[in-house]
Structure 1
Amino acid sequence: MPPSPATDTLSLTAAVDALHGSGFPAALVRLIQQQVAFDCALLLGVGLRPVYLYDNLHHQRALLFDRYLTRHFSQDPFMQALEQGLGAGVWTLAQVSRGRLDPEYRHHFYQATGWQEEVGLILPVRGGLTLMLFLGRLDKRSSLSRDELARLEALFPLVHSLCRQHWREETPRLARSPARSDGTDLKGAVEQAIASVGGDQLTRRERQVAGLLLQGLDTEAIADALGIGSGTVKNHRKHLYAKLNLHSRAELFSFFLNHLITAPAGAPP
């Protein structure tokens, strides 16, 4: 059943209010959910590699970090279609795969995660930056109807405009390895990536705690290094995990590796 105009207005207002803040992707997804019901959303920036920007995954979420972002993205039919010139718009899996879905990718992604229905919104926001917003349904839901697809297509210009506004000056860390000369200080690049992990989503102290976690320090060692209590360290860790939507140190390492690959050379922390 389509949402009421009042619900539409509230969701749109929330998305506009969230522009240029860390809560914008979640507000955008909630706006779309008012038009079409789906179980999962994943937002990526696309360069030579995809880079994680946002998700609301709950089922088999570790596969996103352990498999998709590190290995299987090149088999994704949406990524393959984008490389071949797929334009802006709303696209279904059937349209981009043309019935020829890679068996290995089907096994490692769709069967493993339970995604049965997938729609991709291709959102070029400026030169050199395209976003891909994936909307998925798990096996308990019915297939996307023509009416639902039409609602998504009608909403697309608004979503596209909001994304262009949000990322007009903000620079997501795209997953493309910067060209480095042989003389580049790799140690310096790693240290810089550690210092800037999480970007403006985290406070300075939270970035410090994240950096020390990435270096393998335990709670007591971090407390000693920063001159704070172990309880304070635990609170900072809890908050930074929540802000980055992480649940373990393993996910933090995966998040950092993606950031390390994509952080621009010479960018300030």
Structure 2
Amino acid sequence: MDDSSENVYLLASKLIDTSGADAFNQALLSLINSATPCESVFVIHFHKNSRPTILVAPDSTLLTDKIMDEYLNGFYMIDPFYNAFKTGLSTGLHFIKEIAPDDFFESTYYTEHYCNRGYEEAAFIINLDNDSQIQISLTVIETPATTATRQRLQAISPLVISAYRKHWQNIENTQETSQHASAIIHEQISNVFRNFGGGLLTERESEIAILIIRGYSLIAIAELLGIAHGTAKVHCKNLYSKLEINSKSELFSLFLDDISDK
């Protein structure tokens, strides 16, 4: 047995031993960093009927606090991982490039607000039931991640997922107290999405506007909605005209105004 394998076994035993305790999170980070150095690690609890809960985040700074505030105040609704969760993302290791909309990395959200900009992002996904999911999101410093790095992350994936399931069983009751308030806030944010455009847009135009904000190209939107590309372009032109804007960045600014006013 080589030194690296022995170290992984020691880290794994510590992860299991600390299940349900505060020390579990540090043991989890140590195991992940044994596979590849990460710029940051977030652990998020997604639930279909409430706002996400941040379970683990990097040390508080003005930047991280701003990012977390923006995310919880509505940006999670355009997060590729959150939307993949809503459509049934499977348990396992996933990279953002595999699930993000085709124009996501050119979107205003990504270029101006996304916390992991410039890094390769991956996540261990743990489905708890039909309505909730744990995401252990990590930003891999090595960009793009090599085949060897992906293989190392895949190798520890079953351990990370099983250990966190056990850990969640031990801490779940402590997370339930804020669920009601999160559900109310989530409904307010959902109303922003349902009514985007302030009554100026048709239902289809509003739907397309939100997809543009999330990072879909018009070609991808047409395919997703089952309409002709030309029809999608007409809808886009009409919604830009009604909102008196000329660019995706202006569209995003209107969205930002809406979630700020909710």
**Where does residue 19 of structure 2 map in the other structure?**
19
| 8 A contact 2:110–2:117 mirrored in 1 | no
Pairwise CA distance, 1:89? 1.1
Q: How far apart are the structure 2 equivalents of 1:3 and 1:53?
A: 32
**Where does residue 75 of structure 2 map in the other structure?**
72
Would you say 1:96 and 2:102 are equivalent positions? no
Structure 1 length as normaliser, TM-score?
A: 0.58
Count the aligned residue pairs.
176
| 8 A contact 2:36–2:140 mirrored in 1 | no
Would you say 1:61 and 2:64 are equivalent positions? yes
| 8 A contact 2:46–2:132 mirrored in 1 | yes
Consecutive unaligned residues in structure 2, runs of 5 or more: 185-262
Pairwise CA distance, 1:98? 4.2
Pairwise CA distance, 1:33? 1.0
The structure richer in helix per residue is: 2
Pairwise CA distance, 1:18? 1.1
Pairwise CA distance, 1:6? 2.1
Consecutive unaligned residues in structure 1, runs of 5 or more: 181-269
CA 1:156–1:137 in 2, change beyond 3 Å: closer, same or farther?
A: closer
Q: Give the AA of the match of 2:19.
A: L
Would you say 1:83 and 2:83 are equivalent positions? no
CA 1:146–1:113 in 2, change beyond 3 Å: closer, same or farther?
A: closer
Pairwise CA distance, 1:132? 0.5
Report percent identity of matched pairs: 22
Q: How far apart are the structure 2 equivalents of 1:114 and 1:38?
A: 13
Q: Give the AA of the match of 2:108.
A: E
State how 1:1-16 maps to structure 2 within 5 Å: 4-16=4-16
**Where does residue 147 of structure 2 map in the other structure?**
146
Q: How far apart are the structure 1 equivalents of 2:122 and 2:171?
A: 26
Would you say 1:106 and 2:98 are equivalent positions? no
CA deviations 1:142-198 (Å, max 9, x no partner) are 311122112212211111110111112431526743679xxxxxxxxxxxxxxxxxx
CA deviations 1:88-140 (Å, max 9, x no partner) are 11111111114231713213433x654421111111235644100110145xx
User: What secondary structure sits across from 1:21 in the alignment?
Assistant: coil
Q: How far apart are the structure 2 equivalents of 1:17 and 1:57?
A: 24
Q: How far apart are the structure 1 equivalents of 2:13 and 2:94?
A: 26
Please tell me the root mean square deviation across aligned C-alpha atoms, in Å.
2.6
User: What secondary structure sits across from 1:68 in the alignment?
Assistant: helix
Q: Detail structure 1 runs of 4+ shifted over 6 Å in the superposition.
A: none
Q: Is the deviation greater in 61-70 or in 19-28?
A: 61-70
Q: Give the AA of the match of 1:173.
A: Q
Would you say 1:131 and 2:134 are equivalent positions? yes
Q: How far apart are the structure 2 equivalents of 1:71 and 1:9?
A: 40
